[in-house]
Structure 1
C-alpha cells in the first residue's frame, strides 16, 4: 500500500488556501464520513478532500467557518470527484444549503467503461491500483473526538486513491467519447438528490402497500404522511417512529382507539403511549377521505395480466440500446427503473403524474434513447 500523507484543517484560513488550490487545479476529490443510525438527517463527521497529492481532512465539528468550502461546491468551474456519491450529495446539500455542481462520480464512470456494475470503492482501488484497503474503520463513530490515527488514515485513503484514479477514468472516457454520457448521468443524480419526498406520496414507498383496499389505502396514506413529517420534525429514522409492517396493520384494522392500537402485536406499548393520539387522528383523517381523493392503486406488477411478457420485451429493448451504445444494460435501466415505467403508463392518471417525478427511462439521456419506443411498446395496456 502506498504511504498516504495527509494534513488536518481546523481553521478557516487554511481552508480558504486549499479552496484556492482546488480552483486553480479545476477539480478535487471529495468524500464525507457521517453518522445516520439514529437520526433522520445524516450528521457530518469529517470531510476528506484531495487535489493531486495534497490530501486534507477537514473537521466540521471544530467550530470554524466552512462557508469557503460550501461556495466551492457550487462553483461550476471546479469538478467534484466522488465515488457512489448519492448520500454525500444529500448530506452536502443539507449542510451547505446548496447542491454541489459539476460532479463526476467515479462509480458511474467505471460502469460506463465496463469495469463493473455498482463497483464499490475498495473493489475499484483493487482493480486500478492493486491495493487492498483496510475496512476496519467503516463502521466507526465519526462524531467522536479525538479521531484515532487509524480513523484518519482510513479517511484519507478514501480520497488519496480517488485522486489517482480520476485522471485515468477521465482519459478513458475521452478516448471512448463517453464523457458527455457520464456528465449527463451525474447531473441527473444531482437533480434526484435535491428532491424531497412529498409526505402524501410516502405510502408508495411501503413494500406491501399493494395489499390494502381503497379505504385502507387512504388510511395508510394519512399514516405514512404523519410518520414522515414526525420523523423529520423529531430527527428520527421513520422506522424508529413506527415500522412499515405495523403501519400497514394499523391501516388494515382501521384502529381508532388506544385499545385497538395496543391489540396490534407489533405495536410497542411505548409507541402507543407516545404516538397513540396522533396515529388515531391520522386514521380518522384517512377514513374521512372522499372516494374521489383516495390514492390510485399501485398493484404488484407480477400479478398484472400481460406484465411478464411486456417486461421481457422492455428488457430486450434496453439490451439492444446498450449494445448500440456499448455500455452495460444495467446502466440504462434496472428492474426497478423499468417497473417505474409500467406504473407510470398503466396506473397513473394525469393528476397523479403531476405529483410524481417522471420515470428515469422517460427523461434525460435515457428518455432520448427509449421514450418513444417504450411508449409504443407498452401502450395501450394489454
Structure 2
C-alpha cells in the first residue's frame, strides 16, 4: 500500500490522474472534539489494478500541502467520484474554498437507479462489486499514527471498490437517460451555501413546541452566541451548551451569574467566564428584540395547512406506484411533508420541479385536480384518466 507523505508525491499522483477519465475519492476524519472536521486521511484511486493506482494521502504529515489535490479538483476533464459526498466536500470547502467539478456521488446515483433510499456503500460493494468489506476499522481513531495495516486496507477499500460501483452506475444512467436527474441533485452539493452555517440562523435547528415569540427570540440569540463561540474556537457547540440547557435558559431567562448558577442543565464550565457573560448578553439581547423582529412561532404568520387526508393518502399511493415503476427511491422525489402540502393546495414544492415533475409531479397535480384515478390490479396500482 502506497502512503503519500510529501507534496511532491501527491503532485505526481494528481498529474497522473489527469490522464484518466475519473478519480475516486474518500476521506477519514474526526469531529468529536472540534467544530470543523479534522481531516486525517485522503484516499484516491484511478482506473487500474496496479499498486500505484490507489494511494493514501496523509495530511497530518508536517509540510504536506493538499494544493495538488485541489488543482485536480479544479480540473474539469476528470470526474471526481465520491460516495455520500456531503461531509467530504464540507472539509475541502472549509479548508480551501474548493469544490470538485465535475462531481459524481454514487449514493445519489444509486437512489436514481433503484437501490433504495440513501443506500450504504457496503451494500453497493456487495451488490455491484460482489465483494465484502472488513468494517472492523470503521470507528478507529484516524488521527493516531502510525496507521495499522488493517486501517490502511479498510481505507483503500473505500476507493478501490468505488471504481466498479461508479462504472456500473454511470453505464446504467447512460442507458436510462437519467444522467440529468443526478446532475440536478448534485447542484445542491456544489453550492457553497450548503456548507455555510450562519450563527443568526442556528436557532432554526432547535426543536421546541413553544408558541412564545419572546421565548424564541431569546433562544435565537443564545443559539447565535453558541454557534459563533464554537466556530471561533473550533469546539463542538455542545461543549458550549447543549440544546436542552439552551432551551432551559430561554425559559428561565437568568439575568446575572447567581441566576445562571441555578440552571439544572448548564455545564459547569459555562457558569463562569466568557461563556457565562456571552449567555447573559444573549438573553438581554433576546429580551430587547423589538416585537417585529421576534422569530415567528409555528403556525403564526403562516396559514396552517388544511390537509385533505384522503388526498394525501392517494398521493402516497401514487408516489409508491410511480417509484416502483421507475425504480427510483421515493425519498428522492417527495417527503411526507411535500405530499401533505400538495394535499393542502400548496404548489411550491420541489416534487413539482425538474425531473421529479416528469416522474411524479405532473401526475400528482392531475390527481389533485380529479383528472387521474388509481385502481388496484393484483399487486400493482394502475393510473388512468378520468
Cα distance, 1:39 vs structure 2: 0.4
Please say if residues 102 and 187 of structure 1, whose CA atoms lie closer than 8 Å, have aligned partners that are also in contact: no
In structure 2, the partner of 1:333 is: 334
Instruction: Name the structure where helix makes up a greater proportion of residues.
Output: 1
In structure 2, C-alpha distance between the alignment counterparts of 1:313 and 1:228, rounded to whole Å? 42
CA gap 1:25/1:313 in 2 versus in 1, 3 angstroms: same
In structure 2, C-alpha distance between the alignment counterparts of 1:215 and 1:287, rounded to whole Å? 7
What secondary structure is seen at the aligned counterpart in 1 of 2:81?
strand
Q: What is the CA deviation profile of residues 352-374 of structure 1, one whole-angstrom value per residue up to 9, with x for unaligned ones?
A: xxxxxx97557665578749977
In structure 1, the partner of 2:291 is: 291
Among 39, 48, 52, which residue is 2:43 paired with? Answer: 48
What secondary structure is seen at the aligned counterpart in 2 of 1:248?
helix
In structure 1, the partner of 2:237 is: 238
CA gap 1:242/1:364 in 2 versus in 1, 3 angstroms: farther
Please say if residues 307 and 341 of structure 2, whose CA atoms lie closer than 8 Å, have aligned partners that are also in contact: no
What is the correspondence of 1:256-335 to structure 2 with a 5 Å cutoff? 256-274=255-273, 275-299=275-299, 306-307=306-307, 309=309, 312=313, 315=316, 318-319=319-320, 322=323, 325-335=326-336
In structure 1, C-alpha distance between the alignment counterparts of 2:70 and 2:153, rounded to whole Å? 24
Deviates more, 1:282-291 or 1:194-203: 194-203
CA gap 1:10/1:321 in 2 versus in 1, 3 angstroms: same
Q: What is the CA deviation profile of residues 324-373 of structure 1, one whole-angstrom value per residue up to 9, with x for unaligned ones?
A: 75422211123466689999x79xxxxxxxxxxx9755766557874997
In structure 1, the partner of 2:167 is: 167
In structure 1, C-alpha distance between the alignment counterparts of 2:201 and 2:341, rounded to whole Å? 14
In structure 1, the partner of 2:121 is: 121
TM-score if structure 1 supplies the norm length?
A: 0.84
Q: What is the CA deviation profile of residues 299-318 of structure 1, one whole-angstrom value per residue up to 9, with x for unaligned ones?
A: 59xxx563473754664565
Q: What is the CA deviation profile of residues 104-141 of structure 1, one whole-angstrom value per residue up to 9, with x for unaligned ones?
A: 11111111111222111112111122322111111111
What is the correspondence of 1:1-382 to structure 2 with a 5 Å cutoff? 6-53=1-48, 54-62=53-61, 63-191=63-191, 194-208=194-208, 210-274=209-273, 275-299=275-299, 306-307=306-307, 309=309, 312=313, 315=316, 318-319=319-320, 322=323, 325-335=326-336, 361=351, 365-366=355-356, 370=361
CA gap 1:359/1:143 in 2 versus in 1, 3 angstroms: farther
Q: What is the CA deviation profile of residues 168-206 of structure 1, one whole-angstrom value per residue up to 9, with x for unaligned ones?
A: 111111111112211221222222764412322211101
What secondary structure is seen at the aligned counterpart in 2 of 1:57?
strand
In structure 2, C-alpha distance between the alignment counterparts of 1:340 and 1:46, rounded to whole Å? 43
Aligned residues: 357
In structure 2, C-alpha distance between the alignment counterparts of 1:193 and 1:138, rounded to whole Å? 30
The alignment's C-alpha RMSD in Å is 3.1
Q: What is the CA deviation profile of residues 61-80 of structure 1, one whole-angstrom value per residue up to 9, with x for unaligned ones?
A: 22222211111112222111
TM-score if structure 2 supplies the norm length?
A: 0.83
In structure 2, C-alpha distance between the alignment counterparts of 1:294 and 1:278, rounded to whole Å? 20
Q: Which runs of 5+ in 2 are unaligned?
A: 370-386
Please say if residues 363 and 371 of structure 1, whose CA atoms lie closer than 8 Å, have aligned partners that are also in contact: no
Cα distance, 1:280 vs structure 2: 0.8
What secondary structure is seen at the aligned counterpart in 2 of 1:24?
coil
Q: Which runs of 5+ in 1 are unaligned?
A: 1-5, 347-357
CA gap 1:188/1:30 in 2 versus in 1, 3 angstroms: same
In structure 1, C-alpha distance between the alignment counterparts of 2:30 and 2:151, rounded to whole Å? 14
CA gap 1:196/1:288 in 2 versus in 1, 3 angstroms: same
CA gap 1:11/1:127 in 2 versus in 1, 3 angstroms: same
Deviates more, 1:32-41 or 1:61-70: 61-70
